[in-house]
Structure formats: C-alpha cells, structure tokens
Structure 1
Amino acid sequence: MIEGKGFVIQNTMDQIVEGLYVGSAMAESDAAKLREAGITHILSVARHYPPSHPNDFIYMSVDIDDLPEENIIQFFTETNIFTGSVLENGGRVLVHCMAGQSRSATVAAAYLMQRDTLTAEEAIATIKDKRPQIHPNSGFLDQLQLYYDLNYDVSTDKALYRRFLISHNVEHFKEYGNVGTVVAGLDPSKQTLPAQRLMRCKKCRRALITGANVIDHQAGAGQLAFSYNKRNANGVDTPHAFPQNRACSSLFVEPMEWMDGIRDGLVENKINCPKCDAKLGSYNWSGAQCSCGKWITPSFQIHRNRVDETRPI
C-alpha cells in the first residue's frame, strides 16, 4: 500500500509468504511486474476470466462469482494441490480475482490453513498482515470455518460436508424453483458398518439409515433450516445436531441414495423401502412440519413406527 497526497494507492499484488502472492486482475494483466516478481504460475479465481498471457505463464482457472452463496470450498483440494506444487518446485504463484480482496484471499487462506494447520481466523490474519484490504464475503468465511471443521478434507463421505451441500440445494430451490445436483447419503446396506445407531425397515429388516444420517432438532414451533452449522441452547456455534426429541413421531434425515426421485430433481415424493416397497414417509424440499410443531426445511421424513432402531451397547 502506497500513501499519496490525500489518498492511498492499493498494491495490485502482495507477497503473503515466500512465493505466494495475492492480487487483483490488474496485477494479472501487468506482464512486466509479474516477471519482475518472478511469477511462474497464475491462479485466476473469477467468473469467465480469460488469461492475459497464456503463452508466458502457467494458468489454472476457477470459474466463480464473488457471492456468499457460491460454493468455493469444492475447489480447495484442487487449488491447494496447484499452489503447493508450484511452491514446492521453486516457482512463484499469483492468486488473483478482480479486486484481490475476496475470492483470491479465500483460496490463499485455504492453502495456508492446510499447509500450516491454521484456523480460518489465523490464515486470514496472515494474509491481512501483508494485504490489509482483503475482505472475503460472509459465505466464504463460513466455508473456511467449515474447511477447518472438516480437518481440511473436503469429501462427500463426511456428513458435515453433505449437509453444507444440501443447504446450497435449498438456496438453489428458493431462487430457481428446482433442485440442483443432490449429494445423497450412502446406502448403509452397501457398507460394512461398525456397531452404531441403525434404522431398519420394520417389515423386511432392510438397513435404511444410520445415526449419522439423522437431522436432529429441538421440539417446538418455529422454522428450522437444514444446515451444516447450528447453534446449541446457549447460542454457541456447533457443527453437531441437537438431540432428537423422542416425542416426535418422525425421524428427519438427509436425502439417501436409495430414495426414489432424489437424483431426478423431484421436489417432493414418497419415501418407500427400496426392498419391500413399504411406505416409510415422504420428502419435500419446501419443508414439512414435525408432530412437535417444528417446521423443517427441507423435509426428508421417515415415520418412527415404520422402522426399528438399534443402538450399540
């Protein structure tokens, strides 16, 4: 940052750690300054941004807007591999977006988090120390926190990440009236499971869901959005669910891969046992009300009297 007469000129790019730069589109377009800094690779994090110098530098592009509802965490594994490979081999990389404040800072923070085992706050502080103007949007900050909660492993095998993706499906449904690609919970009948909470069809005993698939809630009136991050009774953020109220007549679960219509974009449908076709419940992306009075969105509802539940001793 350069101070002038009555104004401040922001640097187009700043070195955060050795070999890693964060900057703007203006930095990416300035070939002379890129060569002066020894840049060898460029990571563009912007929607429909064509490389300015495709023959002079090695590029990677992430096509994304600077909006809180954008899913940027899905790219972290790929961008971390790219950035890490450059630095480990003695190269220098510029991570840029348009203003060099939100998207690029988020991607650089994810790399630092994984490399140095940092929290989201620590990684952002490291970048801000070198580039004070950074300001990731609120959705990206939440996703950096989720990245930490996932122990830097973005995988659909993890319930917390699947719930994040489902929350994005809900927002997509509200905005466009249809459901995007759904990442569903794995079918427990196809897995070798350790002793754990398991729900089976009462009629044919087919394994349907595990405890990890259940979306618990507190009883009572009010709206509960399906979320990967909820608050407990003391208002403290926690990625874990509330204890299920045993008085509720239904279990609310995440979408499961054995449910009919899940991958066909159906907004609502019956939930039947995939083996004996017994009716278990129903789902609706607009939500439904539990017997306790809580409205839950989206609603994947299985009636308790249609399943048998076993718990580890």
Structure 2
Amino acid sequence: MDEITDGLYVGSSMAETDKDKLTDSMAETDKDKLTECKITHILTVASHYPPSYPSAFTYKTISIDDLPNENIIQYFPECNQFISDALSAGGRVLVHCMAGQSRSAAVVAAYLMQKDRLTAEQALHLVKERRPQIHPNDGFREQLELYCDLNYDVTVDKPLYRLFLIGHSAEHFKEYGSVQPVAAGADPGMQQQGLPTQRLVRCKKCRRALVTETNILDHQAGVGQVAFSYNKRSANGVDTPHAFPQNRACSSLFVEPMEWMEGVKEGLVENKIVCPKCLAKLGAYSWAGAQCSCGKWITPSFQIHRNRVDEVRQR
C-alpha cells in the first residue's frame, strides 16, 4: 500500500488481507504492516469482501464492482465523510479495492478533489505520483469529472446529476429491460415561492406550470440516436449543460422525467403524459425512445407536444 497524503493510504486487497484465503503467518504479517503504519480505519471499496480484522480497525464497506457503468459517484459524499472524520480524529486510513488501481483510486481522488477543490485530472495526478499503477476505468474518470462540474455536491436537485442518473437508468433498461427508480425533476407547479426568471412551459388548457428551462433537453435536428448524457463538450472543450441546441422546427419538447408524470416513480417503461391538473393529454414517454418530427431518435423519450403547451418567459 502507498501513502497518498498524510495518513491516507491506497492499497489492494493484499494490504487488508482476507485471512481465510491466506496462511496464518501471511495474515499476521499483513496485520503487522497495518499496525506499523498506524492504520485505524479501513474503507473497503469492493464487492463481497468482508472485513478481515473487524475488532482491530474501524471499517466501512462499499459494495461496488469495477465496471464503467457502475454508479460510484453516489458514494463519494459518505466516503469523504468517513475519511475526513478519521483523519480529523488523528486516525490513519487505508482505502482498498482488489487491485488498488481503479475503485480505491477514484474514491481517494474524489476526497482530494473535495478537500482541496481540485479537478479530476489534478487529483488523479497526485494519486498517481505516489501510486503509479492506478488506473480508474473510463466510467469512473467521467464521474470524477462530473463531480467537479457539480462543485463536489452530489444531490438530486442538481440537473447535471439527475441527467447522469437518467442516463444510468437508460443503460440499465437497454441491458435488462427494466427501469430503475429515477430521480425526477421537481414539480414547478408545487413550488411555494415564485419561479425564477427563466423559460417556463405551461399547459395550454389550464395554464398549469409543467417544466422549466432546467428540465428541457435540447437536441439538433437530424437522423440518428442521441444517447441521454449529463454533459457534452463543445468543439473548444467548454462544458455545456445542454449539448444540443434547440431546433424550433421540432414539433415536440423533450424533457427529463418529472415528478408529476404518472408511472415514473413506479418504473413504467412507457405511458401517456397528461397534465396533472386538467388531465389534458400532452404527449408520451418511453424508455425505449421515440423519434422527433425532425428525424432525430431520442432515448429515452419524454416527449411533450408543442401544440399542447405554451412557452413563456418568467419576469
């Protein structure tokens, strides 16, 4: 195992050691190494890996596989808290996975990012200086970049994070044919205070507020599939929350799942979209996707017809 910063180590499973898989002498040697480094806390980031010395160290276990489509960013806040609390109390922390290259490196990089306000690249560079063999998978690297874009605050009220979760659910549906629970956009019609100045979409029949600017997902006209994505980079490398400029020729608006849409929380694959107040039919949604009038195939598709709503600017 390697010390990344004062009191914070990254290692493989051999650093913690599952004593049931090794001889007693080997297990004793590894425990002595932990004691020599004055380790007090162990953060395990691996699947089906029970603590080897539960009475000797304070453990936290995150069960996650080293796969690009795994949602590791959701665990960054609690991992950061565990590490921070341990170090603040004068403890020393080992973060380990199986090889000590991907999961553990991503978690420690996220901690450094949050503590020192670093970019993903900067944090990974610091970890790699002390442990050259680290190599987080591409999905984890993208989530570290998202973590920076979120200003190190992983909450569902952030549109970028909701879009990431929707994309994650879309990939799950594509692979397994079922829909995971999704973080839906807040219902603007239920907000107690006035909505901020922004684009607002209302039901044409009853004027009920349906979606705001942050819920609308713009796209370019054309033929082909647009994968749901939390973020894209423009030609000059600048991050843009909406990757696809709005084409006013499209007869529909595509939005994120909303709290007021029937069946979204229940995990329905497809359903009609109706106004929650007057029940006027507004469109439909399908996790399998649908084609816009411009020819673009959108996956998943939460489609509201423009002729059923009014788009206004709040003042």
TM-score of the pair, normalised by structure 1: 0.94
Native 8 Å contact 2:196 2:314 kept in 1: no
For the residues of structure 1 that align with 2:120 and 2:185, how far apart are their CA atoms? 27
For the residues of structure 2 that align with 1:236 and 1:37, how far apart are their CA atoms? 42
Shift of 1:239: 3.9
Could you list the per-position Cα deviations for residues 241-283 of structure 1 after superposition, in whole angstroms to 9, with x for gaps in the alignment?
A: 1221111100000000100010111111100001100000000
Which one of the candidate residues 257, 264, 267 is aligned to 1:262? 264
| Counterpart residue number, 2:146 | 146
1:124 maps to a residue whose letter is L
Native 8 Å contact 2:286 2:300 kept in 1: yes
For the residues of structure 2 that align with 1:239 and 1:105, how far apart are their CA atoms? 27
Q: Tell me whether 1:19 sits opposite 2:7 in the alignment.
A: yes
- Single out whichever of 155-164 and 223-232 deviates more from structure 2: 223-232
For the residues of structure 2 that align with 1:180 and 1:85, how far apart are their CA atoms? 32
Q: Tell me whether 1:197 sits opposite 2:214 in the alignment.
A: no
| Counterpart residue number, 2:113 | 113
For the residues of structure 2 that align with 1:262 and 1:79, how far apart are their CA atoms? 30
Runs of at least 5 residues in structure 2 that lack an aligned partner in the other structure:
18-29
| Counterpart residue number, 1:240 | 241
Native 8 Å contact 2:272 2:285 kept in 1: yes
Q: How many residue pairs get matched? A: 300
| Counterpart residue number, 1:5 | none
For the residues of structure 1 that align with 2:36 and 2:198, how far apart are their CA atoms? 58
Shift of 1:235: 6.8
SS in 2 for 1:264: coil
1:194 maps to a residue whose letter is P
Identity of aligned residues (%): 69
Could you list the per-position Cα deviations for residues 93-125 of structure 1 after superposition, in whole angstroms to 9, with x for gaps in the alignment?
A: 000000100000000000000001100000000
Native 8 Å contact 1:221 1:294 kept in 2: yes
Native 8 Å contact 2:225 2:298 kept in 1: yes
Native 8 Å contact 1:187 1:256 kept in 2: yes
SS in 2 for 1:262: coil
Q: Tell me whether 1:78 sits opposite 2:78 in the alignment.
A: yes
TM-score of the pair, normalised by structure 2: 0.93
Runs of at least 5 residues in structure 1 that lack an aligned partner in the other structure:
1-12
2:6 maps to a residue whose letter is E
Q: CA RMSD in A?
A: 1.0
Shift of 1:236: 3.6
For the residues of structure 2 that align with 1:237 and 1:36, how far apart are their CA atoms? 47
